[in-house]
Every structure is written in C-alpha cells, then in structure tokens.
Amino acid sequence: MHRPSRPNPLLRGLSCFACETPHDPLRAQGVCTRCGMPLRVDYAFTPGCVEVASLRGSSLWRYRDVLPVVAGEVTLSEGFTPLLPVGERVWVKDEARNPTGSFKARGMTAAVTMAKHFGARALSAPSAGNAAGALAAYGAAAGLPVTVAMPEDTPHSFVEECRLYGADVHLVAGTIADAGAYLRSHGPKDAFDVSTLREPYRVEGKKTMAYELFEQFDGELPDVIIYPTGGGTGLVGMWKAFHEMEALGWIRPGAAKPKLVSVQAEGCAPVVKGFREGAEKTVPWPSPHTTAYGLRVPSPIAGFVCLRALRETRGTGVTVSEETIGTATRALARISGIDVCPEGGAAWAALDQLRQNRFIGERDRVVVFNTGTGLKYR
C-alpha cells in the first residue's frame, strides 16, 4: 500500500528561476504565474543539517532529506547507477540501469510522487521517447492514468513500452514541441502536466545524479561532467545540487565546481548556439533533426538556466555530427560492454573534441553520461 507522503521540514518554498517570484509550495504548481518560466525548489539548508553518514537505502531516495518529501514516495528502486571506469581518469555514469532503461526514471519518481501528494487524478507529458516510458511506468505504480504525445517518427519500441504500462499514446507530426502543443490543445483537461521543467520536481529527481557522484568519488566531485542535453533537466539539476552541497557543508564554500559540458547534435543545438554567441537565452532551432531523439528538443524552456549553469561552472558546449554519434556509440560499447544509447554516444564523441582543444587537462577526472539503453533504438 502506498504510504501517505510527508513534506520535507527543510523545504522553504518555490521560486522562479527567471524572476525569483515566490510560489506556494503547499499546492501543485506548474510554471511561474508571473513570467511563465520554470520554478525552483528551495530549501533551508545549513552546514551539518544533513550528514552523508546518515544516508540509507540503495535508491535515489537515500537522499530523501534533500528532496521535497521524506516519506510516501512512488518508487521503482531507481538511481544509484554504477560509475564505470573506461579509461585513464575517465568514467561512464550508466543511467541505462534505471527502471525503464533511462535517467528519466529519476525525474519521474519525484514528479509523480509530488503529483500524487497534491491529489492529481491523471498525468500527461510530451516526450521524445524515454520520458514517456518512464511516466507511463510511474503512473502505473501510482495508480494514475497517463496520456503521452510523441513525434510520429519516434521508434516503435518507445511507443509500445508506453502502451504496455497502460498509457494513452498520441503520435504527432513534428517534434516534441509539437507534441507539447498537441497536449495543451487536445489532452485531457484534468491531467497534471509533468513536461520537462513545466513543473518543479523532475529537476529534484535528476539532481541526485550529482549527489551520487559525490559519494562515488569518496566525498569529492569530478573535474568535468560531459552531459548530452535535450531539455536540460539533468544539467540544471546537477548545477542546483552543487549549490546545495555547498550550503550543506559537503563541499567547501567557493570551491571550484565540476565544469559542465552540454553536448548536442549538429542538427539541433539551441543551447550550444546560445553559449557560443554569448546569449542570455536560447532561441528555437529551425528544422531540428537527429536520430539521437533525446537531443531533438528545439526550444527548451530552461535554455537560459542551462546557459547560466555552463558559464558559472566554466563549462562549454559541444556539437557532434550524426556520423560521429553512430561511430562513438559503437566504439564506447565495444571498449566498455555498456549498452550505449545514441545520446551517450554523442557525449563520448565530445570527449575527443574536448581533449583535442585542451579543455580537458591531463589530470582532470571526467565523467561521461550514458543516459539510457540503446536497445530501444534498434
């Protein structure tokens, strides 16, 4: 039986990433009611209020003391994925080990938990593939009906996965942006929207990737994190976690944080383009195309937060070609035994570029993210 949820006593409130407008944390929220931008979950963290030694459990809910609720989670035992060495001072964080085979499980365990906490009767979201499968699974676990919309060229395996869990699936011409527009116009009116960064809590689940790295590096963090970026929830979440660890006293105030690297496909790179041009926000990418479907997000709502995270951490942005993505995906699989997805292949390809231009130093410890299983693409 699902236990009643219990809010984290350290939860301070919600505020907008863009305009800082506060919002009530005791009721369901979407985007900022003032400017329409994503909301951030804020906590009253102080040094010593959460100790690493006190963490218990083998899922990401071992970090419940830094998450919005401390009891009553909707979980499929997600998180605490392996950190696998694949070269000299290089590791792959293999998110394919999560339920439904991708890092999307992290965001959905938090988002669905909070939606149920606030009394949602149904859930919906657009997706490029993996998020839909994760939402369908966690909706089933929560006993909530799910409606998803995906681009019509999404690989069949993603579609059938959603149907297996009982979700209502709609295939839409165009991109994930078109799928989102379809749901806003034609989706069920009583469904709570858990789209990427259109509610505050998927970020909270994704930030646990950084907390895990801290533990897996024995109380330290790597020097560089190479991350394939679509909507940017993981990038934003890890950046948020760095600040939280500082507030908790886990890392030294003012210490250098890992350099975040956003990796995108040449055919859809709004974040990298904005970074290179020194822009404060991203602009929609015209005619996006890539077979790394998780990277085909032409207009990420939190693009401006991704840019902020890259610059604050002295990171960068890298684009990779379709040919390179395929070659790197196979290369990483053959040297590691990891089931690599195209998005993970893109991140692996970026590693060579970063070494060649000397962004990565000889002594840097580097983590490359493989965000999901490659099986669904075949």
Residue pair 109/75 in contact (Cβ under 8 Å)? The answer is yes
Q: What is the DSSP string of 223-249?
A: SEEEEE-SS-HHHHHHHHHHHHHHHHT
Q: What is the pLDDT of residue 5?
A: 86
Contact (Cβ atoms closer than 8 angstroms) between residue 290 and residue 341:
no
Question: pTM for this structure?
Answer: 0.96
Q: pLDDT tens string for the chain (378 positions)?
A: 457 789 999 999 999 999 999 999 999 999 999 999 999 999 999 999 999 999 999 999 999 999 999 999 999 999 999 999 999 999 999 999 999 999 999 999 999 999 999 999 999 999 989 999 999 999 999 999 999 999 999 999 999 999 999 999 999 999 999 999 999 999 999 999 999 999 999 999 999 999 999 999 999 999 999 999 999 999 999 999 999 999 999 999 999 999 999 999 999 999 999 999 999 999 999 999 999 999 999 999 999 999 999 999 999 999 999 999 999 999 999 999 999 999 999 999 999 999 999 999 999 999 999 999 999 998
- Largest Cα span, the chain: 54
Partners of 370 in beta bridges: 94
Q: Which two tokens stand for residue 298?
A: 């032409």
- State residue 2's pLDDT score: 57
**Spans of all domains in the chain:** 1-102+201-378, 105-193
- Report the pLDDT value the prediction gives residue 378, as an integer from 0 to 100: 84
Q: Comparing 1-102+201-378 with 105-193, is the CATH topology the same? A: yes
User: What's the fold here for domain 1-102+201-378?
Assistant: Rossmann fold (3.40.50)
pLDDT recorded at residue 1: 46
Question: Which residue in the block uniquely carries the two structure tokens 């979700």?
Answer: 167
Name the nearest CA neighbour of 310 among 271, 344, 255.
271
Q: Which residues pair with 146 in a beta bridge?
A: 123
Q: Taking the domain 105-193, which CATH number applies?
A: 3.40.50.1100
CB atoms within 10 A of CB 153: 13
Instruction: Look at residue 4 in the predicted model and tell me its pLDDT.
Output: 79
Read off the amino acid at residue 241: A
Q: How far apart are CA 252 and CA 248, in angstroms?
A: 10
Say how many CA atoms lie within 13 Å of 11 toward its Cβ.
21
- Amino acid (1-letter code) at residue 141: A
Dihedral sign, Cα of residue 68, residue 71, residue 72, residue 78: positive
Orientation angle between helical segments 233-248 and 303-312, nearest 10 degrees: 50
Structure tokens at 54: 């006190």
